[in-house]
Structures are given as C-alpha cells and as structure tokens.
C-alpha cells in the first residue's frame, strides 16, 4: 500500500505507538525508566501534513507528558473508520503550540492495513495462582498503573494451554465470566525463571463433562506489556524446540 496517509488517517484518529526494537533511547524526562522500550503510548492525530508526515499530540502518562525523543523511531497503529493501519515512523520535531504539545513524525515505511495477530496456543501443565481483582484495583486496568494490593490470598489452578494473548486453566472453583483476575505463574525464558503477574479477563467458564466440580476458564490478557508478551512467545518456541529435539532423539 502506498503512503496514502490522508485517505485512511484523519485528525482525531487514535494512534498507539511503540518504540522499535532497535531503538531504546527513551528520554529520561518521561517516566524515569528508559528500559521500557516496548511500552505502548496512546496519542491522537492532530493533522496530516503530507502523505508521509503527520502531527500527533504528545502522549501522557499519569497526567504527565511523555517526552519522546527527536529521532526516535516508533511502530504506529492508527485506528480509523476503515480499519487498523500500521507503519513505522521517526520523530522529526516536537514543540508547543499554545497549550498543545505536538510531535511531528515522518513515515519510514509504507502504511499497511494491519491484521490483528492470532497467537498460537501451546499445550502445557503449569501451576498458577490467581484471585479476582478488588474494586480499588480496577484502576490498574483503566489507567495502566500498577496498584495491585500485595499479599492477598490466592487460589491454585493448572494452566493447560498458554499463548501470547492469553491462557486456559482448570480449577476446582469458577470465576464469573467478564471478571478481571490476577494470574501469577512462573516461566523459564532463555534459561532464567521469571515470575509473571498479569491481569486477565475471564472470557468463558465451563464445567468439564468428565470431571464434575472442575471448571475450565479461558482468559485474555489485559494491558500486558509487549516485552512480557514476547517473553511468553519465546518460552513457547523454546519448549516446542525442546519437544521436537526429544522426539528426534526417540527415533
């Protein structure tokens, strides 16, 4: 698709932006943590200046401006009436116009229609602890702030498949569909065991036909960090390679 930016993107469109993998130099003026190269920032299109240049509002986090650096390269996702469009772009300027803080970006790739990614589900048997979010914790989801209450009681379960988008687990209890839960489990990623504390939405619950009192839950991650998602996908690839290697060894 050629850079027909003005055909698909108009002022007011929501735009999500992520730092490109090779660029990690986020300004120390933002959240104080420049290691979050995979963090997603939300913004809005102010104007389409040409077919390869766009103005967007400077993103904010916790009511504070995020001062993304000039020359920073980002993966952009535009939410338009005709669908979701993606491109790569470079920040070429940033300035204040009256009370509005503006970023100017040049496209460095063609604009293309983005098909939402489907994640491969990996069958497994992993221990997990979980609990439903408390009312005062819902700000975690709404504002992307880590305000989870520590040391609340957790209930045990078993993950039976996992993907970059969510997981399926079985337990001798049932959550309500659409409820938000904390999912706590460990994965061995690149030789290092890491604990994950992810919030998920319960999409469906059913009692197993052959195991009365045991309930299967399908869960979709909510606001999962892109770096953690990639680690989960890497874990799945590593485990599949191990399984394939073991199968070849048995022949």
> In terms of domains, do 147 and 178 share one?
yes
> In terms of domains, do 79 and 156 share one?
no
Please compute the mean of the pLDDT values over residues 4-30 and round it to a whole number: 70
Please compute the mean of the pLDDT values over residues 123-144 and round it to a whole number: 83
With 50 as the cut, is the pLDDT of residue 69 above it?
yes
CATH at 108: 2.30.110.10
Domain boundary among 113, 134, 150: 113
> In terms of domains, do 60 and 132 share one?
no
> In terms of domains, do 44 and 129 share one?
no
Write out pLDDT tens, residues 201-242. Answer: 999 999 999 899 999 999 999 878 888 988 998 898 888 778
> In terms of domains, do 99 and 139 share one?
no
> In terms of domains, do 242 and 127 share one?
yes
Report pLDDT for 4: 76
Which sign, positive or negative, has the C-alpha torsion 27, 32, 36, 41?
negative
CA dist 223 and 40 (Å) reads 9
| Average pLDDT score, the chain | 83
> In terms of domains, do 62 and 41 share one?
yes
> In terms of domains, do 67 and 130 share one?
no
> In terms of domains, do 65 and 148 share one?
no
Give the closest residue to 5 by CA, choosing from 94, 121, 90, 85: 85
Please compute the mean of the pLDDT values over residues 67-90 and round it to a whole number: 88
Domain boundary among 67, 84, 113: 113
Per the structure, the complete domain to which residue 49 belongs is given by: 5-113
Output the CA–CA distances (angstroms, integers) from residue 151 to 11, 129, 147, 154, in the order listed: 45, 12, 13, 8
Total of domains in the chain: 2
> In terms of domains, do 127 and 96 share one?
no
> In terms of domains, do 179 and 233 share one?
yes
Report pLDDT for 33: 36
Domain boundary among 113, 132, 151: 113
Please compute the mean of the pLDDT values over residues 156-160 and round it to a whole number: 98
Write out pLDDT tens, residues 24-50. Answer: 444 333 333 333 345 788 899 999 999
CATH at 230: 2.40.10.220
* Contact indicator for 183, 168 with CB cutoff of 8 Å: no
Please compute the mean of the pLDDT values over residues 151-167 and round it to a whole number: 94
> In terms of domains, do 20 and 51 share one?
yes
């Amino acid at each position: 698709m050629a850079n027909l930016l003005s055909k698909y993107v108009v002022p007011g469109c929501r735009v999500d932006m992520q730092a490109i993998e090779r660029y990690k130099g986020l300004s120390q003026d933002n959240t104080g943590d420049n290691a979050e190269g995979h963090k997603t920032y939300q913004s809005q299109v102010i104007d389409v200046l040409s077919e390869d240049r766009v103005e967007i509002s400077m993103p904010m986090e916790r009511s504070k401006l995020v001062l993304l650096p000039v020359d920073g390269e980002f993966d952009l996702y535009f939410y338009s009436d005709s669908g979701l469009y993606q491109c790569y772009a470079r920040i070429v300027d940033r300035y204040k116009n009256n009370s509005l803080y503006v970023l100017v970006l040049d496209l460095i790739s063609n604009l293309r229609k983005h098909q939402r990614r489907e994640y491969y589900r990996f069958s497994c048997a992993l221990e997990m602890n979980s609990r439903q979010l408390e009312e005062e914790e819902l700000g975690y989801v709404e504002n992307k702030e880590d305000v989870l209450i520590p040391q609340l009681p957790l209930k045990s379960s078993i993950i039976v498949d996992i993907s970059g988008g969510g997981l399926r687990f079985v337990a001798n209890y049932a959550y309500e569909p659409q409820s938000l839960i904390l999912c706590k489990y460990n994965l061995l990623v690149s030789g290092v065991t890491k604990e994950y504390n992810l919030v998920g939405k319960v999409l469906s619950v059913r009692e197993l036909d052959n195991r009365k009192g045991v309930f299967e839950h399908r869960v979709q991650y909510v606001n999962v960090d892109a770096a953690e998602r990639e680690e989960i996908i890497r874990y799945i690839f590593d485990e599949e390679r191990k399984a394939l290697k073991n199968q070849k060894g048995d022949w």
